[in-house]
């Protein structure tokens, strides 16, 4: 199996988080708010779940499945491609993928992203705000500007890697 850089990076971060928690780091301990596991019982799996939640997934299994490019559409896609700091932008929301694709075709400056079981069409300002414009521009073009249709492809994995690195969780 080919190594998935995004997943490997998150595993490294989980190990670091676990060590920081064991050392009593207040910032690391604060990240445990969403879990009910006592500090002394923290395992790597707990840290992976914390990271997954910070990335917009319900748990590590969902994050791993999605980031590997193996998740079925019915599993949902979390909020991985969304950032609250982009809520001030004019983003176009769709419940239907076909409608989102039709809207995407209206402008070459639009990009289609998944959001849970919905679809979001954004412009370049959105991608700039989530640090996926300059470095990821060629990958977006290779995907046809559609992160749903390109799911699991090499350009999609490259964008995922860029996204993981832009989210310093």
Of all helices (H) and strands (E), which one includes residue 122? strand 118-123
Residues 129-158 have pLDDT tens digits of 998 887 667 899 999 999 999 999 999 999
Residues 80-126 have pLDDT tens digits of 999 989 989 989 999 999 999 999 999 999 999 999 999 999 999 99
Least confident of 19-28, 66-75, 121-130, 145-154: 66-75
User: Which of 165, 82, 66 shows the shortest CA–CA distance to 121?
Assistant: 82
Query: Domain map of the chain by residue range?
Result: 1-71, 73-169
Q: pTM value? A: 0.89
Structure-block tokens of residue 168: 């310093």
CB 57 within 8 A of CB 66: yes
CB 9 within 8 A of CB 160: no
Question: Sorting pLDDT into bands at 50, 70 and 90, what band is 3?
Answer: low
């Amino acid at each position: 199996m080919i190594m998935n850089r995004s997943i490997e990076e998150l595993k490294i971060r989980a190990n670091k988080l676990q060590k920081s928690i064991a050392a009593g780091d207040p910032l690391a301990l604060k990240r445990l708010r969403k879990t009910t596991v006592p500090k002394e019982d923290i395992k790597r799996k707990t840290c992976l779940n914390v990271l997954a939640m910070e990335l917009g997934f319900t748990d590590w299994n969902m994050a791993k499945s999605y980031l590997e490019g193996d998740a079925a559409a019915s599993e949902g896609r979390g909020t991985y491609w969304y950032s609250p700091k982009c809520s001030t932008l004019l983003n176009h929301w769709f419940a239907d993928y076909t409608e989102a694709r039709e809207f995407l075709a209206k402008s070459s400056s639009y990009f289609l992203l998944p959001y849970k079981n919905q679809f979001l069409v954004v412009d370049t300002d959105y991608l700039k705000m989530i640090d996926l414009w300059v470095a990821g521009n060629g990958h977006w073009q290779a995907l046809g500007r559609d992160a749903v249709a390109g799911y699991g492809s090499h350009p999609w994995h490259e964008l995922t890697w860029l996204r993981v690195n832009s989210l310093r969780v």
